[in-house]
Structure 1
């Protein structure tokens, strides 16, 4: 071997040792720097014609493990998702108050029942009546407050989603930009570890926002894709967008580099997923369940109030807007009911018995007269004999007695959609609804749907994670029956038939059930339908869509006439067994108040809402179940948060064991390369000495 070859071999070893020592020095200097990944010099033997000619430095590489890095990304995404779920579900739970405190929301309904029970002992007391009304007002106001703050919480979450998506776009742009810098450094075998460390930190932050797939580029840097493979960064950066409306689930779309059409992408975990779960599922379900609880609880209070009467009897009874025409509203009733006109002393003036099973009416025990749904109003006015008048307008039935008389009702065993005659029409409701809250319409498949033919409703079918599957626009058919409308909704070409089906149950509730494997969820994009002139839309009457159902809890108020005059509360009962000249209603009768106090113990059907499916139970029992489910959901989210945080900590620790700097290991490496440096230096010195000897010999 020539002296020049020896010098070159030694010089290459010297340079390799120097490069390694610089890398070790950087490792030691950054032992506590967050995000720093230890590096090492990549060396290969230099061989010429089968003869070793030293060592070649191929560059500086970071010591990483792709499997552990991927595991860390996945764990970080899950931890962020459940952390935000836990945070906001805990906030939502706090809105209902402390279960052990006096202000707990669900204990307020017990205060109402207790106030009625107290008033039953002294029904003439205006103070006790006022206290009962005050408890109802407090209960409704608290429900409205909770529902309003849930809506505000949803708005806050939506703002945070927009901020997270904006940050994700910034991160993707920076990751993509660093690819160019890393690629240039790799091309000339320069140290690109600084840029790679920055890029790794950006990827770590991105993984907390959304789950991504990361692969290495041969020329240096990374390729970032969505779960389904949409390019997000690497050869250009995609632009993410949050697509949402007030009535439809939100989803993320990506406009690929150089693309013209954004496409929806699946976000399975990360903070963005957790926030969208809250906005589109958790909070709406909580509002829906709150609305269902109020609807059924108030339904039972109103049922007791409609089956009772005040003294003196009110001169008029005005019903709620049923959303139906009178013939449709009257059809389907079973059993019998009695409408009574009484004088100022409660003595019976006129009595009308209605037998829905037989389809007849009779006045004062006289001969029965047949009626049909179409002739019901005319026949009722005829039977009143001028002592009272019945009118129907805007979906509401109203009764007015001829002055100075009043009206009282005995519900009997009349029934439609689980409600008596007076209750179904809301003639004597204690608590009024400002819009539709009870979606048990009482309609059957053979009833007229009443919607204007040609009107349209647009429905969106989405996957359980919010990604849109298809929008369908359904046109109200010319066929007049409910069966025709449901067939149009379930049409496989222009309806939802490919993804699920609508059905009408025995109480007239219209529900949608997605079919496997898509298990599609339904939302309402637009609804331009109307039932009759100025009537409700399909979504309003049947409670379709998140907006319609989640705002129910804010639609109740005490009847204005009763709120202004507590003596109009129906604390007595109509007694039709007394003699003809005896009062049928009396002051001091507390049987109606007692029935109101027991309203929470009457079983009623609750529709599926929130975390509870369709159940039949008392309102008091449902309150307990509902309150417990809120706590369980918050506790479950906290458990998932702690579990995912533990997994992330373990994944991070294992990744750090590979990527982190170990001072003992670096000390060994430093000693090794110092010795290698010294050996190369001695070889150079030996070559120099030999060269000097040869020169001196000449």
Structure 2
């Protein structure tokens, strides 16, 4: 090798080591930047004709493993879904209460039974009568409140779906724009690596709402599909998800009867629970549609069943001979609108409520009594107590067995509690898997500052060695010039 060739080779080495140092500095500076992927300089041999002429940079490489990234992104969807479902069922469970804490719906039924027992023991007590009326009102209020919460939860889910659709559509347009920008530049450049990092962050945002997969195309662009195979980005075009939010919610509004909207892309139904091949099964959309169209409506049906049970029990004509046959008893449905939404309408009979123009003594003497009867007469109260505590068989809305009215409230609490425990376990499992894959991906793509510093020391040594070659070559040329 001639002296000039040695100088050129060393010069190329200085240039490459300088670029390596720049890459290392960028890695260290972005060590804590979310979504940043570690980069390295791809180096190749520089050949001039048949002779080695030094070294050259062939571009910038991004670390990573596509398989791990795809699995981690899928688990991102699972965690988002599990988080929403677990949070909602924790709230429902707290509001329903349970037999150990004695809160919520179970407590109101238990308090009513206790107050009813005390009134049977001392029917002449005005205080006991007032306590029984308050307990009855508490039962009605608790059922009203839980039903209202269910309607609100469905409305919030529908609103969050609308917000999510807007977020995903915006993100899809961003990916479309990033695809075009990446395709217009050298995809091995530092600029392309930065754009790919940004595209990955946007894809992670989309993955929170629905599970996706990507397909690598020419010039560094990607197609984006749902895991069921529906294109969201095909070529250079981003498709838009369509959804129409609802303005109001009642028990009768369902997706099946057309009152509520699903989501679709170019006419392909993506709605969770639909029979379409493209139905989304995970992510925030999966959780929100499950809550809006399945879980919460099923819970509201169970509340209606509990409300219907207590109305029916205490409307038996044999309980109160003063009541007009066929009319409702202590608890009533003011609108008589049927079972749907009954829990939202149930109330205490106005005949026993002074606030509605009634008299408390009718609890003791009968709903149809025109005047207060003997203070010690407990016949009607005893009949109400017997009907309330009577064990009846039931098999509907996911609840099967034989229950008293309080037992049925306790069973609903148990069913809700089991649902909460199940969703908590699913969340814990998916979070553990997600953390494992995040750590695995981070080990492959993240920046280890200690390793980068070690690389920088090697770069410094290489730079010094190449500089030394040039210095020696200069000295040699100086000697030749002196001859």
**TM-score range normalised by the length of the shorter chain:** 0.7 to 0.9
User: Does structure 2 retain, via aligned residues, the 8 Å contact 1:240–1:252?
Assistant: yes
Equivalent position of 1:429 in the other structure:
329
Q: State which of 450, 457, 466 in structure 2 corresponds to 1:671.
A: 457
* Aligned: 1:271 with 2:246: no
User: Structure 1 CA distance, aligned partners of 2:313 and 2:7?
Assistant: 100
**Aligned match of 2:168:** 168
SS in 2 for 1:225: strand
Contact 2:81 2:283 in 1 (8 A): yes
Contact in 2 for aligned 1:227/1:266 (Cα 8 Å)? no
> Offset at 1:686?
4.6
The verdict on how the C-alpha distance between 1:88 and 1:159 changes in structure 2, with shifts beyond 3 A counting, is same
Over 3 Å counting, the alpha-carbon distance change for 1:587 and 1:679 in structure 2 is closer
Residue in structure 2 matched with residue 235 of structure 1 by the alignment? 236
Deviations 1:497-538 (A, max 9, x none): xxxxxxxxxxxxxxxxxxxxxxxxxxxxxxxxxxxxxxxxxx
Q: 1:622 to 1:263 in 2, by over 3 A?
A: closer
1:647 to 430, 433, 445: 433
The reply to whether residue 590 of structure 1 matches residue 378 of structure 2 is: yes
Deviation of 1:281 (Å): 2.1
Residue 116 of structure 2 aligns with which residue? 116
Pair 1:557 & 2:343 matched: no
| Structure 1 position 224 matched with structure 2 position 224 | yes
The answer to whether the Cα contact below 8 Å between 1:295 and 1:437 also exists between their aligned partners in 2 is: no
User: Match for residue 618 of structure 1?
Assistant: 404
Instruction: Call closer, same or farther: CA 1:39–1:142 in 2, change over 3 Å.
Output: same
- Residue 571 of structure 1 and its aligned partner are, at CA, apart by 5.6
For 1:40 and 1:34, locate their aligned partners in 2 and report how far apart those are by CA, in whole Å: 18
Contact 2:98 2:106 in 1 (8 A): no
Partners of 2:269 and 2:279 within 8 A in 1: no
Bigger helix share = 2
Higher relative contact order structure (alpha carbons within 8 Å, sequence separation ≥ 6)? 2
User: Which residue of structure 1 aligns with residue 417 of structure 2?
Assistant: 631
Task: Check the 8 A contact 2:72/2:438 in 1, yes or no.
Answer: yes
**Partner SS, residue 251 of structure 1:** coil
Q: 1:690 to 1:284 in 2, by over 3 A?
A: same
> Shift of residue 307 of structure 1?
0.9
Mean Cα deviation higher: 106-115 or 81-90: 106-115
Distance 2:346 2:410 in 1: 21
Say which SS state the counterpart of residue 243 (structure 2) adopts.
strand
Corresponding residue for residue 51 of structure 1: 51
- Judged with a 3 Å threshold, the aligned counterparts in structure 2 of structure 1 residues 83 and 235 are, in CA distance, closer, same or farther, namely same
Aligned pairs for 1:591-610 within 5 A: 591-609=379-397
Shift of residue 128, structure 1, vs aligned partner = 4.8
Matched, 1:178 2:178: yes
Question: Following TM superposition, by how much is the alpha carbon of 1:279 offset from its aligned partner in structure 2, in angstroms?
Answer: 1.9
Shift in alpha-carbon separation, 1:79–1:282, aligned structure 2, 3 A: same
- Structure 2: how far apart are the matches of 1:32 and 1:586? 81
- Partner-residue secondary structure (3-state), 1:186: coil
Equivalent residue, structure 2, for 1:247: 254
Scaled by the length of structure 1, the TM-score of the pair is 0.59
Q: Residue 418 of structure 1 aligns with which residue?
A: none
Q: Distance in 1 between matches of 2:243 and 2:93?
A: 27
Query: What runs of 5+ residues in structure 1 fail to find an aligned partner?
Result: 256-260, 318-421, 439-547, 573-584
- Residue number in structure 1 paired with 2:301: 288
How far, CA to CA, are the matches of 2:328 and 2:190 in structure 1? 85
Aligned-partner SS, 2:174: helix
- Relative to its length, the structure with more strand (as a share) is 1
Aligned residues: 454
* Cα 1:94–1:190 shift into 2, 3 Å: closer
Q: What is the TM-score with the length of structure 2 in the denominator?
A: 0.83
User: How big is each residue's C-alpha offset from its partner over 1:175-201, in whole Å with a ceiling of 9 and x where there is no partner?
Assistant: 221222222332584542222222222
Change (3 A) 1:23 1:127: closer
- Paired residue secondary structure (1:302): coil
Aligned to 1:159: 159
In the TM superposition, residue 80 of structure 1 has moved relative to its aligned partner by 1.6
Structure 1, residues 363-393: CA drift from partner, whole Å, max 9, x if none?
xxxxxxxxxxxxxxxxxxxxxxxxxxxxxxx
Instruction: Quote how far apart the aligned CAs of 1:118 are.
Output: 3.5
**Deviation of 1:614 (Å):** 4.0
Checking the alignment, whether the CA contact within 8 Å between 1:209 and 1:271 is kept in structure 2 is: yes
Cα pair 1:252 1:266 within 8 Å, conserved: no
Quote the offset at 1:140 in angstroms: 0.8
1:54-203 alignment, distance < 5 Å = 54-97=54-97, 104-121=104-121, 123=123, 128-129=128-129, 131-186=131-186, 189-203=189-203
In structure 2, the CA distance between the partners of 1:187 and 1:125, relative to structure 1 (3 Å rule), is closer
What is the aligned partner in structure 2 of residue 299 from structure 1? 312
Aligned to 2:274: none
Identify unmatched segments of 5+ residues in structure 2. 247-252, 271-277, 367-372
1:567/1:29 Cα in 2 relative to 1: closer, same or farther (>3 Å)?
A: closer
After TM superposition, give the deviation of residue 94 of structure 1 in Å. Answer: 2.7
**CA shift at 1:637, angstroms?**
2.3
Summarize deviations over 1:28-58 as a string: whole Å, max 9, x none.
2222333222100112223455433333322
CA distance in 1, matches of 2:481, 2:188: 39
Find the aligned partners of 1:125 and 1:46 in 2 and give their Cα distance: 104
Q: Cα deviations across residues 299-350 of structure 1 (Å, max 9, x unaligned)?
A: 22222xx11334xx46xx2xxxxxxxxxxxxxxxxxxxxxxxxxxxxxxxxx
Give 1:553 deviation, angstroms. Answer: 0.5
Q: Following the alignment from structure 1 to structure 2, what is the Cα–Cα distance between the partners of residues 674 and 555?
A: 79
Is the 8 Å Cα contact of residues 242 and 253 (structure 1) preserved in structure 2? yes
Aligned counterpart, 1:31: 31
